[in-house]
């Protein structure tokens, strides 16, 4: 039994020393991101608070005029994502992916630009890119997915090593027997009590970061993936007339539902070479940005597909719950606090584990030197 325990200890130790550095950063950065958006809005009111107040029922700037202005500056090859103001006093955001990559913040009443920020500018953006992809795009997301798997092994081996013969002793934390013993007890008890909470955050983060995981869930369920529609071939006469404006397309998207459905995002592809996507925020959708999509042909204004969030394939549908579960938005302040505590605990477990290993190694080296004299 002791020999087997030694194997588990070595697996736990070396797995932690190899993958623990990324887990430490992921935990601490994830905890910071719980409060970063609010701090960012507080520190940069010129970006997030509209200068003009729109009275109820008052029409603001048209989406079409904003689209034309963005196309004039960034060209038809840029991908544009509109985030309409969702509450009074918010700005209208336009995310640009082209020669320049970043976000414009506009007054929704006049369309005047209040500021802009590149995707790598600002502490909030930098922290998010590091946390979500290690600044390595798809490669970083794949690394994070594998590190999440490593954490699950760490959790299992850690529980095996902690599992007490006498349950009362398994929860003891000796704070009066030196720093090394105190930190060891905090490490093992903290991992045992909060390990599952941390596992949920790590697993949901990996699920969102690496798309093949969602595809695997759909494949295992035997369901067919729900794909975005493609633009059909149309005769030149069908697009000869005056095309509908983006505002009219938005009205058409909203009209597809009997219940109130605000628009979360509008995705306008480059060169009108793909359908315009409207992400709708239905009342029963747990995703804070909405997972229901209305796809409209920008040339003919035909509705190509309406995909409700709860009719998507299992892999995609899971994202509606996985995302707000990971960020804590699914459970309000209580869950956001739990997510932050879990992230801090993950960072603390990693740091304490490395310190314990280093101290014990130093003690062994010192003891060996003393014996050799």
**Packing angle, helices 137-162 and 179-209, rounded to 10:** 140
Beta strands in 84-174 (DSSP E): 92-97, 101-106, 113-118
Convert the pLDDT of each residue in 171-193 to its tens digit.
888 888 888 888 888 898 999 99
Q: What is the rounded distance in angstroms from the CA atom of residue 49 to the CA atom of residue 85?
A: 10
Residues of the chain with pLDDT under 70: 1-2, 55-57, 235-241, 373
Strand partners, 94: 82, 104
**Packing angle, helices 179-209 and 332-372, rounded to 10:** 130
Q: What is the rounded distance in angstroms from the CA atom of residue 247 to the CA atom of residue 134?
A: 37
Residue (of 151, 210, 207, 204) closest to 327 by Cα position: 204
pLDDT number for residue 315:
96
Q: What is the rounded distance in angstroms from the CA atom of residue 101 to the CA atom of residue 129?
A: 13
pLDDT number for residue 57:
64
Query: Any idea where the domains of the chain sit in the sequence?
Result: 2-39+128-220+334-367, 52-111+244-312
Q: What is the rounded distance in angstroms from the CA atom of residue 185 to the CA atom of residue 191?
A: 10
Strand partners, 293: 279, 307
Long-range pairs for 119-126: beta carbons < 8 A, 24 or more residues apart: 122/40, 122/44, 123/36, 123/40, 124/36, 124/37, 124/39, 124/40
pLDDT number for residue 99:
93
Residue 305: φ, ψ to 5°: -165, 145
With 0-12 CB in 10 A as exposed, 13-18 as middle and 19+ as buried, what is 294?
Answer: buried
Q: What is the rounded distance in angstroms from the CA atom of residue 147 to the CA atom of residue 255?
A: 44
pLDDT number for residue 56:
65
Q: What is the rounded distance in angstroms from the CA atom of residue 102 to the CA atom of residue 119?
A: 4
pLDDT number for residue 363:
79
């Amino acid at each position: 039994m002791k020999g087997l325990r030694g194997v588990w200890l070595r697996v736990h130790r070396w797995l932690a020393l190899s993958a623990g550095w990324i887990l430490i950063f992921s935990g601490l950065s994830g905890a910071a991101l719980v409060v970063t958006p609010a701090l960012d809005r507080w520190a940069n009111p010129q970006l997030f608070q509209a200068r003009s107040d729109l009275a109820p029922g008052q029409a603001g700037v048209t989406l079409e005029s904003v689209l034309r202005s963005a196309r004039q500056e960034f060209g038809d090859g840029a991908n544009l994502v509109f985030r309409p103001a969702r509450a009074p006093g918010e700005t209208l955001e336009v995310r640009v992916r082209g020669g320049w990559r970043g976000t414009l913040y506009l007054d929704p009443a006049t369309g005047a630009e209040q500021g802009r920020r590149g995707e790598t500018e600002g502490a909030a953006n930098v922290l998010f890119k590091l946390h979500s992809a290690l600044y390595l795009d798809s490669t970083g997301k794949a690394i994070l997915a594998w590190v999440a798997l490593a954490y699950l092994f760490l959790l299992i081996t850690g529980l095996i090593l902690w599992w007490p013969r006498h349950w009362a002793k398994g929860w003891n934390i000796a704070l009066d027997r030196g720093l090394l013993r105190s930190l060891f007890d905090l490490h093992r008890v903290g991992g045992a009590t909060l390990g599952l909470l941390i596992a949920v955050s790590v697993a949901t983060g990996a699920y969102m970061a690496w798309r093949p995981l969602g595809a695997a869930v759909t494949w295992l369920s035997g369901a067919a993936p729900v794909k975005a529609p493609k633009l059909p071939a149309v005769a030149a006469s069908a697009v000869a007339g005056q095309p509908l404006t983006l505002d009219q397309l938005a009205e058409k998207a909203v009209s597809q539902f009997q219940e109130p459905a605000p628009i979360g995002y509008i995705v306008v592809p480059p060169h009108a070479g793909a359908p315009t996507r409207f992400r709708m925020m239905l009342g029963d959708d747990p995703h804070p940005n909405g997972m229901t999509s209305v796809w409209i042909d920008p040339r003919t204004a035909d509705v190509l597909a309406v995909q409700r969030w709860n009719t998507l394939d299992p892999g995609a549908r899971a994202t509606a719950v996985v995302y707000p579960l990971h960020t804590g938005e699914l459970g309000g302040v209580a869950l956001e606090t739990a997510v932050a505590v879990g992230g801090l605990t993950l960072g603390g477990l990693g740091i304490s584990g490395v310190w314990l290993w280093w101290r014990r190694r130093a003690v062994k080296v010192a003891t060996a030197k003393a014996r050799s004299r």
